[in-house]
Amino acid sequence: MSSSADAGRVSACAVAVDVALLTIRDGALAILLVEPDTPDLSGRWSLPGRRVRDDESLDDAAHRALLELAGIAAPGAHLEQLRTYGEPNRDPHGRVVSVAYIALTPHPPEPRPPAGRARFFAVEEVGGRELALAYDHERIVPDAIERARSKLEYTPLATAFVDEPFTLADLRHVYEAVWGVEVDAANFRRKVVSAEDFVVETAGLSTPGPGGGRPAKLYRRGTATTLHPAMLRPR
Amino acid sequence: MSSSADAGRVSACAVAVDVALLTIRDGALAILLVEPDTPDLSGRWSLPGRRVRDDESLDDAAHRALLELAGIAAPGAHLEQLRTYGEPNRDPHGRVVSVAYIALTPHPPEPRPPAGRARFFAVEEVGGRELALAYDHERIVPDAIERARSKLEYTPLATAFVDEPFTLADLRHVYEAVWGVEVDAANFRRKVVSAEDFVVETAGLSTPGPGGGRPAKLYRRGTATTLHPAMLRPR
DNA sequence: TCAATAGTGTCTTTTAGACATTATATG
DNA sequence: CATATAATGTCTAAAAGACACTATTGA
C-alpha cells in the first residue's frame, strides 16, 4: 500500500519470520524446533525465527533463521509462505508481525545450533502436553502440518522430501509418513505415473536391499506444479 | 519469534494490508480498485490498503482499509489472508511489508470513497494494458483471482458470493462467473446436493422471473468447510 | 397452447480402491 | 528352492460429464 496519507497511530512494529522445517525422519513427519538459551522463556521450544532486516527479502530472512538458530543451510529446500500471524498481543515483547514459512527438505540435516539447542521432533510428539511451545507457535505448527498434508494432494510437493533419483516406493513412504496412513503400492504407482509430469522415469534401477527383491525403476521430479488428477488422501 | 537476541540491522519497517475485494457484477467476477488522490502516482489504480495500527489486528486493518478508502463496510464478508508481499523495494516510499487479503461479498456494495475514486472492474479488464496498477499490485491481483478460483473447487466458498436464501442457479452462476466457463446445470445440481453439508434445503421456493419458469428450491449455506467430493473446474 | 426455467434419468468415460498375479532380485 | 520387493492385471464402485426427458411456472 501507500504511505503519506495515513499517519494514525502507526509506530514501531517489528516484522519477523518463523520457519517450520519439515522432513521425514524414521518413517515419520518431523519438525525442527529450537530451545532458546534466553532465561525468560522457561525452556519452551519454538520454531526458528528472526526479525527481518531492512535490506533483506522475507525468503532470505527465513533461510537466515534456519542458519543462525539451527546451523542448517538448506538452499535447495522448498520454501513457501504459510500465513502471517499478527495479533497485537501474540508476542509479549511488543507488537511483532510474523510471516510463517514452511520448508521441506529430504532427510534430516543435522542441526548444529550456535547457541541453545535444536532438534527434530516427530510431529506426533508436538501435539502432546509434555512439549509446550512458545508464543503462538502452538497454532502455527498445526497449520504448517496441515498445509504439508493437503499440498501433497494436489501438488507434486512430496518430491521435495526425497533426494533424486528416487523410487516410487520412496515417494510412497513420503505420503505414508506425512499422512500417517498406509497407501496401496499398486494404485499409488498407477496414479503417480498417470499424473502428467509428476515424475519422469530415468534409465537407472535401484540396488535391492540385503533381503533381495526386484530392483525398482528410478525417477526424477517432473515439471508439473499441480497434479491432474489429484492424489487424494483417504477420508 | 523472540526479540532481545537479534539486534542487527533491524529498524523502522512498516506493516500494511492490501485488500482484494471480489464480487459478482453483471455475471462476471469483479474487483474493487481505488484511485488515490495523491499526485505522485500518475493516476494508477490500486488495491485499497492501509498501514496496520499498533493496537489493531491484521483483519481489523483490512476492514478499515475498505471502509476508509472505499466507504464499504462489509462486516459479514468472507475475509482471508492471501499472502504477504515483502520484497525490500516493492514500495518506493520505503520498506513496507504488506499482508494481502481477499474479501468475498455478494453483489457490489456501492463504493462511496471519502477521497479519490473507487469502483469495481471486471477482472478481465484488469489484465489489460490500459489499466496500470500501482506498486506490485499487478502481482497481487492475479494471485487473488487464482485463489478465489481454486478455493471454489474444494471449499464451499462460492456461497460467500450470494445472499441467503439462494437457488442452485444462483450458486451455479457464481461458478460460471468466477471460472469463466459454462457449467452443466444438471450435473452441477447433483454434485452440490451430494457434497455433504455444502448447502441445506429450505422450505421456500423462488418466484419465477417475468418470462415464467418453474420456481426453484431455496437453500442456505451448510456447515462444511471443505467439499467432498470437490467441485473441480474443467481442465 | 408456447417459452422459460427447474429438476430427474440414463448412459459413457474416468478415477479410485481392493486385491490377485507376474517379474526380478538375494540367499 | 524360499523370500522379498517391484510391477502389472482385473474387478468393482464411485464420480464426472454429456444430454434426453419430465415438471412447473408466466404469458
- Quick check: B10 and A51 CB within 8 A? yes
What confidence category does residue A94 fall into, taking pLDDT thresholds of 50, 70 and 90?
confident
| B42 at A interface, C-beta within 8 A | no
Q: Average pLDDT of A95-116?
A: 93
Average pLDDT, chain B: 92
CATH of the domain at B41: 3.90.79.10
Of B8-12, B96-100, B139-143, give the lowest mean pLDDT range: B8-12
Instruction: Please count the other Cβ atoms lying within 10 Å of the Cβ belonging to residue B60.
Output: 14
Statement to judge: residues B142 and B41 lie in one domain: yes
pLDDT value of residue A41: 61
C-alpha cell at B39: 499526485
pLDDT-above-90 percentage for chain A: 80
- Quick check: B54 and A93 CB within 8 A? no
Asked if residue B229 is part of any domain, the answer here is no
pLDDT value of residue B135: 84
The residue from A134, A152, A170 where one domain ends is A152
Task: Enter the pTM of the model.
Answer: 0.93
Residue A45 DSSP one-character state: B
pLDDT value of residue A6: 43
Nearest alpha carbon to residue A11 among B55, B67, B5: B55
pLDDT value of residue B91: 87
C-alpha cell at B93: 516510499
Asked if residue B111 is part of any domain, the answer here is yes
Task: Please state the φ and ψ torsions of residue B135, each to the nearest 5 degrees.
Answer: 50, -145
Q: Average pLDDT of A54-76?
A: 96
Statement to judge: residues B177 and B114 lie in one domain: no
List residues bridging with B121 in a β-sheet: B31
Asked if residue B3 is part of any domain, the answer here is no
- Residues A186-235: tens digit of each pLDDT: 999 999 999 999 999 999 999 999 999 999 999 999 999 999 999 999 98
**What's the burial of B188, exposed, middle or buried (CB within 10 Å: 0-12/13-18/19+)?**
middle
Number of inter-chain CB pairs under 8 A, A vs B: 148
Statement to judge: residues B107 and B190 lie in one domain: no
pLDDT value of residue B115: 86
Residue numbers in A near B228 (CB within 8 A): 235
- Residues B170-181: tens digit of each pLDDT: 999 999 999 999
pLDDT value of residue A166: 98
C-alpha cell at B96: 513496507
Q: Average pLDDT of A30-57?
A: 88
Range of the domain at B211: 155-221
- Residues A72-84: tens digit of each pLDDT: 999 999 999 999 9
Residue nearest to nucleotide C4 (CA to C1'): B213
Q: Average pLDDT of A123-148?
A: 91
Statement to judge: residues A182 and A148 lie in one domain: no
Statement to judge: residues B101 and B200 lie in one domain: no
Statement to judge: residues A128 and A164 lie in one domain: no
CB < 8 Å from B in window 60-119 of A: 65, 68, 81, 83-84, 86-88, 91, 93-99
- Quick check: B97 and A97 CB within 8 A? yes
B228: distance to nearest CA of chain A, Å?
9
Query: Three-state secondary structure along chain B?
Result: CCCCCCCCCCCCCEEEEEEEEEEEECCEEEEEEEECCCHHHCCCEECCEEECCCCCCHHHHHHHHHHHHHCCCCCCCEEEEEEEECCCCCCCCCCEEEEEEEEECCCCCCCCCCCCEEEEEEHHHHCCCCCCECCCHHHHHHHHHHHHHHHHHHCCHHHHHCCCCECHHHHHHHHHHHHCCCCCHHHHHHHHHHCCCCEEEEEEECCCECCECCCCEEEEECCCCCCCCCCCCCC
Residue numbers in A near B46 (CB within 8 A): 1-2
Of A49-53, A83-87, A92-96, B154-158, give the lowest mean pLDDT range: A92-96
A81: distance to nearest CA of chain B, Å?
7
Task: Give the span between the Cα atoms of B49 and A134, in whole angstroms.
Answer: 31
C-alpha cell at A178: 506425512
The residue from A108, A123, A152 where one domain ends is A152
Asked if residue A7 is part of any domain, the answer here is no
C-alpha cell at A233: 488422501
Task: Please state the φ and ψ torsions of residue B24, each to the nearest 5 degrees.
Answer: -105, 120
Statement to judge: residues B134 and B175 lie in one domain: no
In sequence order, the 6+-apart residues with CB closer than 8 A to the CB of A40 are none
- Residues A192 and A168: beta-carbon distance below 8 Å: yes
B1 vs B222, higher pLDDT: B222
Statement to judge: residues A127 and A172 lie in one domain: no
pLDDT value of residue A12: 55
- Residues B48-84: tens digit of each pLDDT: 999 999 999 999 999 999 999 999 999 999 999 999 9
pLDDT value of residue B176: 98
C-alpha cell at A101: 514459512
What's the structural domain count of chain B? 2
| The CA-based dihedral angle spanning residues B82, B13, A9, A49, taken in that order and rounded to the nearest 10 degrees | 70
Chain centroid to CA A210: 32
Average pLDDT, chain A: 92
In sequence order, the 6+-apart residues with CB closer than 8 A to the CB of B146 are none
Indicate if the alpha-carbon torsion angle A40, A44, A46, A48 is positive or negative. positive
Statement to judge: residues B121 and B208 lie in one domain: no
Asked if residue B4 is part of any domain, the answer here is no
Residue numbers in A near B54 (CB within 8 A): 9-11, 13, 88, 95
Instruction: Give the mutation candidate from B2, B33, B143, B155 for the A interface (greatest A CB count, under 10 A).
Output: B2
Task: Give the span between the Cα atoms of A90 and B132, in whole angstroms.
Answer: 37
Asked if residue A112 is part of any domain, the answer here is yes
Nucleotide nearest to B205 (CA to C1'): C6
CATH of the domain at A203: 1.10.10.10
Statement to judge: residues B187 and B120 lie in one domain: no
Asked if residue A95 is part of any domain, the answer here is yes
Asked if residue A4 is part of any domain, the answer here is no
Statement to judge: residues A66 and A18 lie in one domain: yes
Indicate if the alpha-carbon torsion angle A126, A128, A132, A133 is positive or negative. positive
Residue A1 predicted with pLDDT over 80: no
Residue A18 predicted with pLDDT over 50: yes
How far are the Cα atoms of A11, A19, A132, A187 from residue B1, in angstroms, in the given order?
19, 10, 15, 43
pLDDT value of residue A116: 86
pLDDT value of residue B12: 55
pLDDT value of residue B1: 47
What confidence category does residue B2 fall into, taking pLDDT thresholds of 50, 70 and 90?
very low
Statement to judge: residues B19 and B65 lie in one domain: yes
Rounded, the Å distance between the CA of A215 and C1' of C26 is 11
The residue from A118, A152, A186 where one domain ends is A152
